[in-house]
């Protein structure tokens, strides 16, 4: 089987023969004798007749926008080409540099030849050097031939190998550096050959593209030549493209060490039996493709290898890198001889059919994480799935971002001997489930946060002598809830209410009736990165009765709500899922109490408040497939408490009334339920809690009043760490 997809013997042998025979051929060739010799320094330009040149030892030829057939440079000579063209036909290279000579091609120059565009020769340990800047080099045998000990530097230029040739043929300890350039070969993009001198070849690419139109991007070694060791750096912004989808191919017992830095490559790295390939990815570099017979893979600093099929690697060293096992549903297997360091394996598992990606290691050390794909769909079975096996070593494996989210629950990882399983029996409520339950639970606390006692909504009405008026109130609350389901969440609410009222023509002016409206927004923080938002719009009617003689009062409110609910969930595999729904609610509150004056301006005001709320149920789905259905949410809340305060006469009709309020509250509703993927959860907030409030109401003038109120409560299912509101009342 031919690993190159071209004829390696003919091309490689011809290239090797050039390295040995060219000095002798130049000395004997009658064509060589016909060239124009150059001694010392000579300058040619656009008006110089077309010619070919032989630079004697130590000579210098400077060409500016000149047209040349070809150039041969002997030892210690230099050739400078700025602009212009070289078009070498027949058995000639465009620029043929012998050992110790150098050339600089720049300024948009074009070099074309039937053989090599540029050929760098050597004698013993001495090579030649060439720098190509902002120019084009093309050849039938290749754009450039770089012998052992020679150096080619390519800057912002294009090198093209015609036919089945490569853009560059490099031998032994030759060196190539390309920056912001394109190297294209009709066969391979670049071929690296060993020779009798030994040595290590060096290739560095920065912002450059190497492409083989019908062969690999980079080919290392040949069965007809000595083995080679090559160090290849694919630097930032570079790319390798193989016409046969091979980025790097190693044959002939050769060794290739390739380092990819901050570049994204797509293709295969292939080493034949007896040859060695070592690959390092770093600085967020990525490779998507096959690794065939690769001896060592190193993944550093957020680098990633994306597998495309079952693979084997001799050793894998991780330092903050990751391996992705193909696309979801492909279920691939990775076999490693050794594993070390710390990194992440991105995998998928399916309880429904028992399939999973699988990692098998001979000897594993270090600390590694598994990122297993999440899904909102419910597993049909919950058997254990084996993800990792290590024959030996002390490695540890854990789940990245915690338990894996699959349907309504999240599943944990369990070690059993040398194996790690995703255990169907070790499950907790998933973030998607927790966020959905929180959305259904939070509507009552939203409703109650918008409501308040008579005092905190309108200030102290007794101070305004029952006049018509209007009021506005801004408020904020925080609730920490622990429903029966265990899906805890915190809620931060902020909003504004406003209203207006007037005395009714009945009851000797002791009755007021009014309307209220408002808006609130609640942000929910759920465990493990899930969040939700509830936007509430409401309208209500209220009536109050106050008997100035006895101090008895009554306050009744009916309120309608429209809730816009949305949730965002950070899943265990790093993805996000979203869902939203709308529903309505209606509720009523009745408060009854009595103001009892005491000596010195003090007063005590016992009261009881009863509220009932019903929130419409809803069905919706998250975009990852999680299905949620909530029944109507109901609340029946009873309170009993007392307010103690004192009136201070500030003069000029101004009165300040500070107060403290204590209350006992109990939630009676116990049957609020929701289903997630068919699993039923009891999410009620039933139980008792104590409440503490402090505030002050101030009559600033005949018509203006302000009040401020601060609240705290704590109980079995719900805590309110803080609540605050500030209101303004105006009488007309």
Residue 464 has pLDDT above 70, yes or no: no
Dist CA 572 CA 541 (whole Å): 46
pLDDT of 61: 98
**CB contact set of 327 (below 8 Å; sequence gap of 6+):** none
pLDDT tens column, 300-335: 999 999 999 999 999 999 999 999 998 888 899 999
Q: How many CA atoms lie within 13 A of 582 on its CB side?
A: 5
Of the listed ranges 278-282, 373-377, 473-477, 517-521, the one predicted with least confidence: 373-377
Report, as an integer, the average pLDDT of 599-606: 91
Dist CA 301 CA 280 (whole Å): 11
pLDDT band at 509 (very low <50, low <70, confident <90, very high): low
pLDDT of 535: 95
Strand order in the sheet with 679-682: 618-621, 627-630, 673-676, 679-682
Q: What is the 3-state secondary structure (H, E, C) of 189-211?
A: CEEEECCCCCCEEEEEEECCEEE
pLDDT band at 589 (very low <50, low <70, confident <90, very high): very high
pLDDT tens column, 336-382: 999 999 999 999 888 777 788 999 999 999 999 999 888 777 676 66
* Extended strands (E) in 595-686: 596-597, 602-615, 618-621, 627-630, 633-646, 648-651, 654-667, 673-676, 679-682
pLDDT tens column, 648-690: 888 877 888 899 999 999 999 887 788 888 888 887 788 899 9
In percent, how much of the chain has pLDDT > 70? Answer: 92
Of the listed ranges 171-185, 376-390, 649-663, the one predicted with least confidence: 376-390
pLDDT of 34: 61
Report, as an integer, the average pLDDT of 494-509: 85
Q: Best-predicted range by mean pLDDT among 87-96, 663-672, 721-730?
A: 87-96
Classified as helix, coil or strand, 683 is coil
Classified as helix, coil or strand, 677 is coil
Distances from the Cα of 329 to the Cαs of 323, 348, 349, in angstroms? 16, 7, 8
pLDDT of 271: 96
Of the listed ranges 4-13, 491-500, 537-546, 626-635, the one predicted with least confidence: 4-13
Distances from the Cα of 569 to the Cαs of 64, 135, 675, in angstroms? 66, 54, 18
Residue 485 has pLDDT above 90, yes or no: no
Residue 405 has pLDDT above 90, yes or no: no
pLDDT of 4: 36
Classified as helix, coil or strand, 637 is strand
**CB contact set of 524 (below 8 Å; sequence gap of 6+):** 435, 438, 439, 442, 489, 490, 491, 531, 532, 533, 534
pLDDT of 381: 63
pLDDT of 27: 38
pLDDT of 433: 85
Classified as helix, coil or strand, 445 is helix
Question: Number of helices (H) and strands (E), helices first, in the chain?
Answer: 4, 63
pLDDT of 483: 81
Report, as an integer, the average pLDDT of 451-473: 65
pLDDT band at 16 (very low <50, low <70, confident <90, very high): very low
pLDDT of 453: 62
Report, as an integer, the average pLDDT of 233-252: 97
Dist CA 141 CA 92 (whole Å): 11
pLDDT of 626: 85
pLDDT of 8: 39
Residue 465 has pLDDT above 90, yes or no: no
Of the listed ranges 102-106, 215-219, 569-573, 656-660, the one predicted with least confidence: 569-573
Give the β-pairing of 596-597 and 602-615. Answer: antiparallel
Taking alpha carbons only, the member of 697, 659, 667, 701 closest to residue 685 is: 667
In eight-state DSSP terms, residue 237 is T
Any idea of the CA torsion for 419, 424, 426, 429, to the nearest 10 degrees?
140
pLDDT of 503: 86
Dist CA 706 CA 552 (whole Å): 23
pLDDT of 26: 42
Residue 33 has pLDDT above 50, yes or no: no
pLDDT of 280: 98
Write out the two tokens for 623.
């975009």
Q: Best-predicted range by mean pLDDT among 85-94, 459-468, 674-683?
A: 85-94
Report, as an integer, the average pLDDT of 72-90: 97
pLDDT of 457: 53
pLDDT of 425: 77
pLDDT of 455: 55
Report, as an integer, the average pLDDT of 213-237: 96
pLDDT of 30: 37
pLDDT of 89: 95
């Amino acid at each position: 089987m031919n690993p190159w997809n071209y004829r390696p013997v003919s091309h490689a042998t011809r290239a090797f023969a050039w390295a040995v025979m060219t000095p002798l051929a130049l000395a004997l060739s009658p064509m060589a004798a016909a060239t124009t010799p150059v001694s010392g320094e000579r300058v040619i330009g656009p008006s110089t007749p077309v010619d070919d040149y032989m630079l004697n030892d130590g000579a210098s030829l400077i060409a500016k926008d000149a047209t040349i057939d070809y150039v041969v440079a002997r030892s210690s000579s230099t050739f400078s080409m700025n602009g212009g063209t070289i078009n070498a036909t027949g058995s000639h290279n465009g620029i043929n540099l012998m050992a110790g000579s150098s050339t600089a091609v720049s300024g948009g120059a074009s070099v074309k030849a039937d053989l090599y565009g540029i050929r760098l020769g050597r004698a013993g340990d001495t090579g030649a050097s060439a720098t190509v800047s902002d120019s084009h080099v093309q050849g039938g045998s290749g754009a450039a031939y770089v012998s052992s000990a020679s150096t080619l530097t390519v800057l912002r230029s294009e090198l093209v190998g015609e036919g089945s040739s490569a853009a560059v043929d490099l031998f032994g300890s030759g060196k190539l550096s390309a920056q912001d350039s394109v190297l294209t070969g009709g066969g391979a993009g670049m071929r690296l050959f060993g020779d009798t001198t030994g040595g290590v070849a060096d290739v560095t690419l920065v912002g450059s593209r190497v492409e083989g139109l019908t062969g690999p991007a980079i080919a290392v070694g040949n069965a007809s030549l000595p083995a080679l060791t090559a160090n290849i750096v694919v630097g930032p912004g570079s790319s390798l493209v193989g016409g046969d989808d091979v980025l790097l191919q190693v044959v002939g017992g050769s060794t290739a060490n390739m380092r990819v830095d901050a570049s994204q490559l797509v293709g295969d790295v292939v080493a034949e039996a007896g040859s060695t390939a070592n690959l390092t990815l770093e600085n967020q570099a990525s490779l998507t493709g096959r690794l065939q017979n690769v001896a060592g893979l190193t993944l550093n600093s957020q680098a990633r290898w994306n597998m495309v099929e079952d693979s084997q690697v001799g050793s894998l060293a991780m330092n903050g890198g990751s391996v992705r096992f193909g696309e979801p549903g492909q279920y691939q297997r990775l076999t490693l001889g050794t594993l070390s360091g710390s990194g992440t394996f991105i995998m998928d598992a399916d309880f429904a059919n028992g399939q999973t990606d699988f990692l098998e290691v001979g000897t594993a050390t270090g600390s590694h994480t598994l990122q297993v794909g999440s899904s909102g769909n419910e597993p049909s079975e919950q058997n254990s799935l084996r993800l990792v096996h290590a024959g030996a070593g002390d490695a540890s494996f854990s789940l990245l971002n915690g338990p894996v989210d699959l349907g309504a629950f999240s599943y944990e990882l369990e070690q059993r001997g040398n194996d790690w399983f995703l255990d169907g029996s070790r499950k907790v409520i998933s973030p998607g489930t927790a966020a959905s339950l929180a959305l259904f639970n939070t509507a009552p606390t939203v409703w109650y946060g918008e409501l308040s006692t008579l005092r905190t909504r309108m200030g102290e009405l007794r101070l305004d002598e029952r006049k018509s008026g209007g009021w506005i109130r801004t408020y904020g609350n925080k609730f920490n809830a622990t429903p029966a389901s265990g899906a805890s969440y915190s809620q931060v609410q902020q909003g504004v209410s406003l209203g207006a009222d007037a005395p009714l023509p009945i009851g000797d002016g002791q009755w007021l009736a009014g309307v209220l409206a408002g808006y609130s927004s609640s942000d929910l923080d759920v465990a493990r990165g899930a969040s939700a938002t509830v936007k509430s719009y409401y309208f209500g009617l209220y009536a109050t009765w106050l008997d100035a003689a006895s101090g008895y009062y009554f306050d009744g409110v009916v309120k309608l709500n429209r809730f816009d609910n949305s949730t965002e969930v950070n899943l265990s595999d790093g993805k996000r899922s979203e869902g939203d729904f709308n529903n309505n609610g209606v509720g009523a509150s009745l408060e009854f109490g009595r103001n009892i004056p005491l000596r010195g301006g003090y007063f005590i005001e016992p009261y009881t408040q009863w509220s009932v709320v019903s929130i419409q149920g809803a069905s919706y789905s998250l975009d990852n497939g999680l299905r949620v259905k909530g029944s109507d949410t109901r609340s029946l809340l009873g309170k009993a408490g007392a307010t103690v305060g004192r009136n201070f006469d500030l003069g000029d009709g101004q009165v300040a009334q500070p107060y403290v309020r204590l209350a006992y509250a109990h939630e009676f509703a116990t049957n609020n339920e929701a289903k997630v993927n068919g699993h039923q959860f009891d999410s009620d907030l039933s139980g008792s809690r104590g409440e503490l409030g402090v505030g002050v109401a101030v009559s600033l003038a005949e018509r203006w009043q302000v009040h401020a109120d601060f609240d705290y409560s704590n109980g079995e299912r719900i805590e309110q760490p803080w609540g605050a509101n500030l209101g303004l009342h105006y009488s007309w």
